[in-house]
Amino acid sequence: MTWHCNDVWATTEEFDGNSVRQLLVPDGDLELSEDATNLSGTSGTWAAVRVGQQAPARLHVRIPLAARAGERLHGARWEGPRDRLPHEDVLASYFDLKNSLG
């Protein structure tokens, strides 16, 4: 199942009069896993949670009850905190992605 999402930004913060933003999810197409528990793309993997299920305490995608792998996904939306990630998490995600691409 493919879902196109737009950029998802962390909440903007101010440091010494400068606005700081962090891109959490880049614009692109995401594929729903066979077990419908996550959405993945070239920039990472995010939790997928069906309507009515308990959500994790992190950024995730709320998906419709009828969502199935291999079909076009409609009505999905990002939910959860939009806090900036610590630099260690950003570096770890980069290395995870680099290793998965070979």
Per-residue pLDDT of the chain (102 residues; tens, 9 = 90+): 689 999 999 999 999 999 999 999 999 999 999 999 999 988 888 999 999 999 999 999 999 888 878 778 888 999 999 999 888 877 776 666 556 655
Expressed as residue numbers, the domain containing 38 is 2-101
Q: Beta strand pairing status for 38-41 and 8-9? A: unpaired
Residue given tokens 């709320």 in the structure block? 62
What is the chain's alpha carbon radius of gyration, rounded to the nearest angstrom? 15
Q: In sequence order, which residues have a C-beta less than 8 Å from that of residue 32 and are 6 or more positions away?
A: 1, 2, 3, 38, 39, 48, 63, 67, 68, 69, 73
Q: Helix or strand or coil: residue 6?
A: coil
Q: How many domains does the chain have?
A: 1
Please state the pTM of the whole predicted model.
0.79
